Structure 1
């Protein structure tokens, strides 16, 4: 039997879906909406987010919050196009979806190392 990349893709899909469903709305609410609405000093909010990005665990959290939903979304797009019986060969479509998620995750990681 031939080995498949599907277990890795499904694990990233599951982790991204869990992050989007359970943690994503809370992250958006606590990092994007509430600080800007409740803060009297927006500069202090900006400094707090900068402090989060200065810590290695904060960078890892941001990378996970970007990379896992990317893999989830592009895995869902790939299987949606496959279910629509797109006449494209599987390999270029896989390279486009999974390669795109990998590339965008790598760019995010590179950017986080620069911050």
Structure 2
């Protein structure tokens, strides 16, 4: 095999962030309208009983392992989606120099909040 046929591939961390971006976008697109419908219309109009959404019920759900996992996913994935979009919007706005600090700031904040929420949910259960 000649040297011209050999390709060198550079490893990138971008697929990880695109995966989190896509999952967060899908989750946001599907669940945000439902949450607005329930908390903005159905509960205030009395169609859904408000008793199901009291503190004790929601705290009881959050202290189970599956409830904590669902809450972590509902907070973390849309946050990763948002910060990935902000990171690329900075490039679209013409802020091109120093992309490393932009990545650290965007993804670092998303990671820090994810870890913070994870530790809070661990302390609750």
TM range (shorter): 0.7 to 0.9
Q: Does 2:101 correspond to 1:92? A: yes
Q: What are the Cα deviations for residues 79-111 of structure 1, in whole angstroms up to 9, with x where unaligned? A: 000111214401110000000000011101111
Query: Structure 2 unaligned runs (5+)?
Result: 1-8
**Aligned mates of 2:50, 2:95 — CA distance in 1:** 52
Count of matched residue pairs: 113
TM-score, length of structure 1 as denominator length:
0.86
- Runs of 5+ unmatched residues, structure 1: none
Cα displacement (A) at 1:35: 5.2
TM-score by length of 2: 0.79
The 3 A distance-change label for structure 1 pair 47 and 37 is: farther
1:16 deviates by 0.3
Q: Alpha-carbon deviation of 1:25?
A: 2.5
Which residue in the other structure is 1:80 paired with?
89
Runs of 4+ with >6 A deviation: none
* 1:26 aligns to 2:42 (yes or no): no
Larger helix fraction of residues: 1
Higher Cα radius of gyration: 2
